[in-house]
Amino acid sequence: DGVNGIELWTSDGTETGTFLIKNINNTGDSSISKMKVLNGNIFFSANDNVNGQELWISDGTTNGTTLLKDINSGSNSSYPADFFVFNDNMYFLSDDGINGFELWKSDGTNSGTTLLKNINSNSNSSINFGNNFIVLNDNFYFFADSGISGYELWKSDGTTVGTQLLKDIYSGTNSSAFTMIGSGTSNYF
């Protein structure tokens, strides 16, 4: 609006119903990005100039727009990205400053926002941004590098135990080169 920087707005489709929800960063742009809706709430990445680029949630009201979790505590950023919904939870990539970019899960509460699994325990990121998470039946599929097998095909049922390497297609530390294409009821790798 020329005053608050790039911030979160809402609209009901009318001029009077279009307004600023919250000025998250009072000193500049809040760098809002990666919005995804789950159960009537918007999950997104924003920078309040105190906690860095972190996970926020909004129910569309000023008071209901809050920092959900400071994943990389302090002023460091966790850069939440690649949000997708699976089994009434929001899944996304984030860096807690210890494990690198890994897969996280949130039920919309601070205590229910947790690291799903540290796939690459060498403190290196296991998953790259722009990963094509494909949901099929009761699992989702993605590419990850455990530090042992290179980037390979993984699957998850949304639990830590159920998140595992599906197949080491190109054995060893080499990475398989393939793309996932969703086509309704079937998926091709």
Structure confidence at residue 120 (pLDDT): 85
How far is 15 from 104, CA to CA, in rounded Å?
Answer: 38
Q: Which two tokens stand for residue 8?
A: 């979160």
Q: What pTM did the predictor assign? A: 0.86
Structure confidence at residue 129 (pLDDT): 61
Please list the rounded mean pLDDT of every run of 10 residues in the chain (189 residues).
Answer: 90 95 94 93 96 96 97 94 95 93 96 94 70 89 85 93 89 54 42
Structure confidence at residue 185 (pLDDT): 41
Contact 74, 58 (CB under 8 A): no
Structure confidence at residue 58 (pLDDT): 97
Structure confidence at residue 176 (pLDDT): 52
Please give the full DSSP string across 51-105, using - where no structure is assigned: S-EEEEEE-SSSTTEEEEE-SS-TT-----EEEEEETTEEEEEEE-SSS-EEEEE
Structure confidence at residue 183 (pLDDT): 39
Please tell me what DSSP assigns to residue 47: E
